[in-house]
Every structure is written in structure tokens, then in C-alpha cells.
Amino acid sequence: MQTKRILIVGGGSSGWMAAAYLNASLNRGGKRVADIALVESPDVPRIGVGEATIPNINHLLAVTGIDERDFMRAVDGTFKQSIRYVNWLHGKSDYYHHPFSRYELKPIDFSAREWLQSDRSIPFMETVSAQPLICELGLAPKTTANQPFGTPLTYAFHMNALKFADYLTQHSVARGVTHHVEHVVDVEMRANGYIAAVLTAAGRRIEAELFIDCTGFAGLLIEKKLGVGFVDCSQWLLNDRAITMHVDYEHHYPGYVKPYTTATALSAGWVWEIPLQNTRSLGYVHSSAFISEENAERELRAFEGAHAQKITTRTVRFKVGRREKVWVGNCIAIGLAGGFIEPLESTGLYLSDLACVMLAEHFPYTDDYEAMAFRVNRILANRFYEILDFINMHYCLTKRDDSVYWREVRKAERINDRLKAKLDYWRLKPPTPSDFQDSFFPGQPDAPLSGGGWPGDHRAPIDTAGLWGYSSYEAILYGMDFLREECDRWYGAQRPKTLLFKEVLNAVQAARQQLPPHDLWLQKVLGMPAYRKSV
């Protein structure tokens, strides 16, 4: 079998994830399936923000052979067990969790229906998962001695994105990936419309059989050269800016490191809080149509407190949408070059990781690229719209009416048709696993995807629950008080007290006894400094 040359154009997290994953998954057992090279410009500024992940990141670490603790030390990593949503329902300090672990009653799980028939005196996820309370207690998901804790708690990580890219660079180069630090100035094409090579400012001509575009929103290969269009999805997700800041612990340390990501709704969007080992990363994701950059920065500083008044901020601009096709000819776009959805559910790195996994699984060992592209484009399109629906749902279920922004996101025209069909159906029955076997609901339109004239599968996307199944939908739906009025009509206003599973109660009690505070775990296991609490 002839070794194929892969050239990744652009570095950053996406580029180096592709390099590390493809090298590990293709070149195994002494076989050299692919010669992998990456070229990145020394002139392109890197965007560094705190990054939150979802548990799929553990697959990448396992495939690439990266030790979890080494990884956490290198990227200032901390544990993430949940996302805590604050002020999304009424804007009055209400909150709920979307945790990674939960208890499911076997053989049939009626927990949601029983909760709907109760008085809802306990938040739904706290009745089926110990993780929300473990998070509220500030506990790590494992012991310092790495001893098992009952049923293992699923977790992901918070990390410094720039350090993650640097760590993967060292890891990949040490294992045979070629690294060119040069500025790409031109792209050379073959007669058949495939890319032949890229030309650099240093006069180098780099050939390959397969090209991966990781040049971010610039889309140097997929857009600038191949002309693949962009599908704008900003009708359903209005945010297009983020004001970011880093609050170093030497400057202000709150006295703890939260083992979860926080997403707090403000007047025209929401703020992420991502705790690392040496800093807290914040970002106000907002819509420039509803608040000026100056006022957004002022609101972010007020949110953080007086100690944030002189901290430097940075504005990141983005557009929500996707490529008509992410794989065309011998070029596949990974990361921002392929599309973007705001990071409300921490899916930025996940989409890059998924594209790497799909490329490895559909690697064109022969010269038939079109068949592989046909399937990968379909899979990635389905997953993009699954994420779009899920994040759109956070907004359309709000009951906030305290600003023009929140009144706007509630309007019917801001709910995409797939999500509307889901919600209408779930007003008749709660979500169940079978809803995702073939997720086409009554009233859902069958409009084909925009293909921009490119060949391929243009069927309407479906939600395959590849990322979130019925239990995740329950977390958001019932966290946002879905079916409150309907349940009052169906079951009456006076309903029995909400109960929780004894297994959940036992897990919380065991956690109090066995699990250390998150910051203590980081100090003892990873060597995080013991910062002095700010007053």
C-alpha cells in the first residue's frame, strides 16, 4: 500500500489535534499509512481563551497515548463535571446543571414522568444524578489516591487552548509529524480540480495527496481556493461577539476552583467562567445588534467585580454557520474553517475531534475520495445541526423578558423548524430513547440542505443522538421548567412531593466522605499552587 501524504494547513488546537490523532490512528503497529506534515504561519496571531471540553476529549487522549495527568499539568487543566446555567429561566439567580453522569432506572426509566407528576420541589437532575450536588460541594470526581469511587463519575476538562496546541505540537513532532513554520502564499491546483500543493513565502512547494484546512475563519483552502460557500445560521443563534478576560489567581483568587463550567445569562448574551489552575477565563458571548462593545465590556467587568476594572480584555468576532460541504475533492476543513457554533455546550474542540475521527474512519486508502467525502459530509452535517438544535433550545425556552435581547430570542421565528417539531412532540410525550432512532417528528419540514451546487447527500438533517440523547434533552428541558403549565392542567396544581433515587442520595453521602475539594486534588496531584483567598 502506497503511503499517502497529508498536509495540514494551519495549526492551533484543530490543526494539531488532526496531526496527533491521524498519526496515532493511521500509523500503528509499525505501519506507515500516512506521512503527515503541518504548515502554519508565524505571522497569524493566536486566539487564546480558556477552553471547556466534553467527555469525548478522553477518546483523543486515549488514542494518542497521552497520559491524563501529564496533559492536565501541561495545559493548566482542571476537571469539568457539568455546566451550570445561571439566570437562563427568569433571570433571578435561578440555576440548573447539565451533568455528565446520571442514574437511570432499569429496565424502564420513568424518572422524568414521575418528576413531571410531582411538585418539582427538587430540580429534576438532582433527583437522577449526584453530580449537581457534588459540583455544588466543589468536589473533584476522583480521590487523590486515584481509588475508585462507587460508580465512576464521567468528566471532561478545562484547559488553556494555546498550551494545548503547544503540547500537541511537541507530542506530534516527537512521533514523526513534520512541522513547517512558513506563511502559505498560494495554492496550486491539478487539472481535475484537486489541490496539488501549497507554496510558501520561503519558496517551498509542499505537495500532498490529502489536504486539511485548519486556517480558521479565513478558510484559505476550502473557501478562498475551492469556493465552497458558507451557510449562515445566525437567524437562530444571534450572538456574534465575545469579550474575553483572564483573572489571574495572583490578582484575585476566590478561594476555590469550581469543578464545572458556569454559563451566566446577562442582558444580551451569557458569560462563560472556566477555572484553570492559575486563572479564571471569562467571556461575554453577546449580540452586537443588542449591545455595544463598550457596554458589553462594562457589563462583563461589573459581573466579575471591582477587581476586574483594569484587567485587559479582548474582542473575538465570529459567525455562526457551516460550510456547504466540509470535504470537497482532496480537501477537508476541520475546526473554524468548517463551521462554528457558539460554545454554550463546549462543542468547539468536539467538532474538530469528531472530524478527525471521521477522517480516520473514512480514510481514502484508494484514490476514491468522493465516496468517503459523501459519507463524512453527511455525518458532520447531521452533527452540526444536532448541536444547533440543542443550543437553540436553551434560548427559546427562556421566560426572561427583561431586555430586548431576551424578548427577541423567544420569538417563534428564532426557533428552527427541527427544534420546533421536537418541542411540539415532547408536549405530547416526554423524550425517550426511541425518539432518536429516526428523529423525524410530525410537522418537521423535509427541506434539503443547501449544497451550493456540490454533489453529495443533501437530505434534510436528522438528530441521531450522536452527542446528546434523551437524558441530555431532559436536563435542559426540565431545567428550563418545560411543561410547567401543561402539568398543572394534567395533574392538578397540588401534587406529591418530589422524590429522589436512594442511589443518588447514597452517592452524594459517599462523595462527602471520600472525594476531596477540587482545588485540594489539583494541589496534591498536579502541584497547583495554594493561592491565598482574596478578600
Amino acid letter, residue 384: F
Q: Which of 4, 31, 80, 224 is catalytic?
A: 80
Residue 182 in contact with residue 198, Cβ under 8 Å?
no
DSSP 65: T
HSE-up (13 A, CA, CB side) for residue 345: 27
Question: Contact, 9 vs 213, CB < 8 A?
Answer: yes
Cell representation of residue 431: 423524550
The CA-atom distances, in angstroms, between 235 and each of 340, 346, 404, 414, 415 are: 14, 21, 16, 6, 9
- 80 is an active site residue: yes
Amino acid found at 300: L
Distance CA(520)–CA(369), nearest Å, equals 51
Q: What are the φ and ψ backbone dihedral angles of 488, each rounded to 5 degrees?
A: -65, -40
Cα distances (Å, whole numbers) of residue 168 to 16, 18, 343, 353, 426:
6, 10, 22, 13, 43
144 burial type by CB count under 10 A (0-12 exposed, 13-18 middle, 19+ buried): middle
Cell of 493: 396544581
- In whole angstroms, how far apart are CA 262 and each of 77, 98, 258, 393, 398? 16, 10, 9, 18, 17
274 grid coordinates: 472556566
Would you state the cell numbers that stand for residue 6, as one nine-digit string?
Answer: 497529508
**CA–CA distance, 382 with 370 (Å, rounded to integer):** 18
Whole-angstrom Cα distance, residue 196 to residue 194?
A: 6
The residue among 54, 52, 63 whose CA lies nearest residue 19 is 63
Report how far residue 495's alpha carbon sits from residue 117's, in angstroms, rounded to the nearest whole number: 7
What DSSP string describes 232-256? Answer: E-TTT----EEEEEEEETTT---S-
Cell 473557501 sits on residue: 223
Is 497:119 a contact under the CB 8 Å cutoff? Answer: yes
Pairing of strands 4-9, 210-213: parallel
Q: Which of 261, 184, 259, 175 is nearest to 215 (CA)?
A: 184
Cβ–Cβ < 8 Å for 140, 517? yes
Got the DSSP string for 184-207? EEEEEE-TTS-EEEEEETTS-EEE
For the annotated catalytic residues, the residue numbers are 80
